[in-house]
Amino acid sequence: MVKKVLKFGGTSVGTTERIQHVANIIKKEQSSGNKVIAVVSAMAGKTNELIELSTKISDNFDKRELDVLLSSGEQVTCALLSAALIRLNVKAKSWLNWQIPILTDGEHSNARIINMNIEKINNFLDDRGVAIIPGFQGISKNGDITTIGRGGSDATAVAVAKMFNADTCEIYTDVDGVYSTDPNKIPVAKKIDKISYDEMLELSSLGAKVMQSSAVQTAMMYDIPLEVRSTFSDRKGTKIFSHENIDYTKSVTGVAYSKDDAKITIIGVEDRPGVAANIFEPLSKSQINVDMVIQNISSDQKTTDITFTVKRADVLKTKQILNKNNKINYKNIIQKENVAKISIVGAGMVSTPGVTYRMFRALSDENINILAISTSEIKLSVIIDEENTLKAIKKLHTIFDLD
Amino acid sequence: MVKKVLKFGGTSVGTTERIQHVANIIKKEQSSGNKVIAVVSAMAGKTNELIELSTKISDNFDKRELDVLLSSGEQVTCALLSAALIRLNVKAKSWLNWQIPILTDGEHSNARIINMNIEKINNFLDDRGVAIIPGFQGISKNGDITTIGRGGSDATAVAVAKMFNADTCEIYTDVDGVYSTDPNKIPVAKKIDKISYDEMLELSSLGAKVMQSSAVQTAMMYDIPLEVRSTFSDRKGTKIFSHENIDYTKSVTGVAYSKDDAKITIIGVEDRPGVAANIFEPLSKSQINVDMVIQNISSDQKTTDITFTVKRADVLKTKQILNKNNKINYKNIIQKENVAKISIVGAGMVSTPGVTYRMFRALSDENINILAISTSEIKLSVIIDEENTLKAIKKLHTIFDLD
């Protein structure tokens, strides 16, 4: 008997019709003899509606009470889905955060799940019952409601899969899997059947918003097989597991891009130890997320140039912080907005020589200038002019046999 | 130091602006040195919205899950009100049904409160904190969420006042008190400053929908002083307590009426023991609420006529049940729809002779025919043609010095 955690996101339970559809999916799983725990999000739009109410009360809404407020959204979905299952003659029951309980650690709105009681629910599953659990929430040791950050239902699903020792965790969403690149931009984009956790992480962090990164990380850490699939079609989704389960026939698995980047270069910085720390510490303290960092030797060999990328919205703030920073000396700051980061991701890259060269050659063939380069074990990113984004993705998608 | 329970109904917390207004009322009470526990309803319209969702899932929605669904409404208000108070620099905290906990007995959607833990909240009050509690709900001994019936927030407020030994329980609503008759129909209707529990009960059951009857009953049983007052004005409301606290200067406190009544007469029923039981048992089993019952001796002295009133919507069903009833013999059934019940209510009636006579004379002066009469210790009701309702109320209001 297979034990499955099925997670249904906000659009999957966005209307009562959809909730009834989800009930049918669960009934089918249960009728096939599987033990099912469903983790649900709030109905699409519901969380934003509650947040809007909160901002009307205060722009500094108390964090404990915000968690009380927001957690009600998933509670509603739990009740509706359980009743929909009962109507289909499936034994089902909602288990709220405090009824399980799901214990969390850390601060309000950003807690993390540390434990949950599995005995009662396991008995219920043994008894052919389907347990419905609200995502995104738990309780603290003090018995306060806590939430685990927006989109945290994925994290709940993976934590549930881990605690209940489930065989698989299926993320039902509004896309039918992970694609080799953005299918809305590149029509020849292909659904990936199997992908490793770390490739998925690279793709997620590069803008493929299919699953929460922290949830993928947890799944990787505990080796919990994931599957991302569509609530609205019967098609197979994308399976996510460790490298060993994947037979790499291609060096590159996908091409990702991120928008809204900007590039900043500090020219003529003194080339001595500690200078990078002096530059980036104040940025980090101001919550500015620095992405790629590249350091070149400068022409005079006593100074160096440091280039990094930040989100476009942070450019002004970044420059203000650099200007105020009296721990660093430099000649000039140059900025370039309207850049894009294009990345090829693939666990097969490690064992395939020449991938880097082929990427640079392909971009050069298209007359695309590379403004910065950054590499990791399974990823190769370049910064290019934003206007070349589409052209670059198409070319890379083709030359790495992804069409 | 006075300990107060303040209850705010759905319209009082119907928008975020109103919730902020309620926070100001509470802040004022707390600044005057009072200990405050607030009991809140769901925002106006919210419960109906959730019920509508439930009917879209199933017309036989599971009762346990319905309570999970509906209880989320008050949870939202609790969080919003607590945060609104914190914004005003008032120490405040929401305490949900399971956090207190509020223990209930009985079935889902119709449970009753049997106990609650007061220690933690009392400590919080001692510490100058305001506790916000959701009305209408609790948990069962099994740890399931239960609700105590619609409008049950009044019952929660009174139960909280009892358990916490509060000095007073104030029901904030959208009217500014209890009136001598319906102020929308009779402009000279006057707000009653003080009224006894039993008068209030008679008026409530007669259609003055200011407070839930069962909540008034509980307050009477434990002698908890109530006050009904408006959230939207500073005017004093109506105080409700026991007879001893009221100096009766008038024999009649108020004139009430109920609409949608119908009168049914069974003519020529055998006059023998058990016949009334045989008539009314099947009606009761079909949830038909029989109000007044009058029995007259018939002309032939072997049979009798039985007259009773039911809600107009139940007339057809009532006749069907009577027709199918083979335990009774009768000559005929007459029905009269379009009747109204007019009642005068007053604890002073007991000690004032001639009230009955004055009522009948007044109606006769207006040429209003009395179709049935029923009396109790503090109430006198008559059934009349519906078209005479307004004329009757006006006349009675005047002759009993209520204008």
* Residue B133 · residue B39 · CB < 8 Å: yes
Per cent of chain A over pLDDT 70 is 97
Q: What is the mean pLDDT of chain A?
A: 91
A287: pLDDT confidence band, cut at 50, 70 and 90?
confident
A150: pLDDT confidence band, cut at 50, 70 and 90?
low
B116: pLDDT confidence band, cut at 50, 70 and 90?
very high
* Residue B312 · residue B368 · CB < 8 Å: no
Integer distance in angstroms from the first to the last C-alpha of chain B?
A: 38
Say what the pLDDT of residue A76 is: 98
Same domain, A170 and A261: no
- Is B240 inside a domain boundary? no
Of the residues A104, A139, A174, the one at which a domain ends: A174
Q: Give the domain range for residue B351.
A: 255-399
Q: For chain B, state the CA radius of gyration.
A: 24
Stretch B251-261: mean pLDDT: 88
pLDDT in tens, A370-386: 888 888 888 899 999 99
- Higher-confidence residue of A163 and B357: namely A163
Q: How many CB atoms lie within 10 A of CB A123?
A: 10
* Residue B219 · residue B240 · CB < 8 Å: yes
Q: Which of B16, B19, B68 sits opposite A94 (nearest CB)?
A: B68
pLDDT in tens, A196-249: 999 998 887 665 578 888 899 999 999 999 999 999 999 999 999 998 777 777
Say what the pLDDT of residue B182 is: 85
Which of chain B's residues have a Cβ under 8 Å away from the Cβ of A57? 16, 19-20, 80, 83-84, 87
Q: Which of A10-24, A330-344, B50-64 has the lowest average pLDDT?
A: A330-344
User: Is A91 near chain B, with CB under 8 Å?
Assistant: no
Q: Which of A58, A60, A87 sits opposite B58 (nearest CB)?
A: A87
The CATH number for B321's domain is 3.30.2130.10
ipTM of the complex: 0.85
- Is A28 inside a domain boundary? yes
- Is B310 inside a domain boundary? yes
Residue B113 pLDDT more than 80? yes
Q: What is the mean pLDDT of chain B?
A: 91
- Is B210 inside a domain boundary? no
Task: List the one residue out of A4, A84, A5, A3 whose CA is nearest residue A43.
Answer: A84
Residue B298 pLDDT more than 80? no
Residue B18 pLDDT more than 70? yes
| Backbone angles phi and psi of A215, in degrees to 5 | -70, -40
Same domain, B160 and B288: no
User: Is A110 near chain B, with CB under 8 Å?
Assistant: no
- Is B34 inside a domain boundary? yes
Q: How far is CA B381 from the centre of its chain?
A: 18
Same domain, A23 and A150: yes
A84 vs B58: CB contact, 8 Å cut-off? Answer: yes
Which of chain A's residues have a Cβ under 8 Å away from the Cβ of B17? 56
- Higher-confidence residue of A95 and A270: namely A95
Q: Using alpha carbons only, what angle is made at residue B124 by residues B33 and B8, rounded to the nearest 5 degrees?
A: 65
Best residue of A68, A120, A133 to probe chain B, by most B CBs closer than 10 Å: A68
Q: What's the domain count of chain B?
A: 2
Burial (CB < 10 A; 0-12, 13-18, 19+), residue B204, is: buried
Same domain, A154 and A263: no
- CA nearest A14 in B: which residue? B53
A75 vs B80: CB contact, 8 Å cut-off? Answer: no
- Is B241 inside a domain boundary? no
Of the residues A142, A174, A206, the one at which a domain ends: A174
- Alpha carbons A21 and A364: distance in angstroms, whole number: 49
- Higher-confidence residue of B83 and B306: namely B83
Q: Which of A58, A69, A72 sits opposite B87 (nearest CB)?
A: A58
Same domain, B137 and B286: no
Same domain, B169 and B272: no
A66 vs B79: CB contact, 8 Å cut-off? Answer: yes
- Alpha carbons B77 and B14: distance in angstroms, whole number: 9
| Backbone angles phi and psi of A105, in degrees to 5 | -125, 160
Q: Which of B17, B72, B80 sits opposite A75 (nearest CB)?
A: B72
* Residue A80 · residue A16 · CB < 8 Å: yes
Looking at the complex, report in whole angstroms how far the Cα of residue B209 sits from the nearest Cα belonging to chain A: 29
Find the helix or strand (DSSP H, E) in which A318 lies: helix A315-324
Residue A114 pLDDT more than 90? yes
Which of chain B's residues have a Cβ under 8 Å away from the Cβ of A83? 54, 57-58, 61-62, 65-66, 69
- Burial per residue of B365-398, b for 16 or more beta-carbon CB atoms within 10 angstroms, e otherwise: eeebeebbebeeebbbbbbbebebbeebbbbbbe
- Alpha carbons B100 and A358: distance in angstroms, whole number: 65
Tokens encoding A176:
């039918």
Say what the pLDDT of residue B74 is: 98
* Residue A26 · residue A130 · CB < 8 Å: yes
Same domain, A11 and A158: yes
Same domain, B148 and B36: yes
Same domain, A26 and A136: yes
Which of chain A's residues have a Cβ under 8 Å away from the Cβ of B75? 68-69, 71-72, 75
- CA nearest A83 in B: which residue? B62
Stretch B356-366: mean pLDDT: 91
Stretch A175-185: mean pLDDT: 87
User: Is A355 near chain B, with CB under 8 Å?
Assistant: no
Tokens encoding A298:
């400068």
Say what the pLDDT of residue B384 is: 93
Say what the pLDDT of residue B206 is: 62
Of the residues B174, B192, B225, the one at which a domain ends: B174
Same domain, A275 and A170: no
Residue A272 pLDDT more than 90? no
pLDDT in tens, B177-209: 999 988 888 888 899 999 999 999 888 766 556
A87 vs B56: CB contact, 8 Å cut-off? Answer: no
The CATH number for B104's domain is 3.40.1160.10
Same domain, B32 and B150: yes
Q: Which of A143-152, A170-179, B231-240 has the lowest average pLDDT?
A: A143-152
B79 vs A65: CB contact, 8 Å cut-off? Answer: yes
Q: Using alpha carbons only, what angle is made at residue A289 by residues A288 and A291, rounded to the nearest 5 degrees?
A: 140
Stretch B166-181: mean pLDDT: 92
- Is A242 inside a domain boundary? no
**Residue entry with tokens 């694609």:** A179
Best residue of A21, A22, A72 to probe chain B, by most B CBs closer than 10 Å: A72
Q: Where are the beta strands (DSSP E) in B73-144?
A: 92-94, 102-105, 112-116, 130-134, 137-139
- Is A243 inside a domain boundary? no
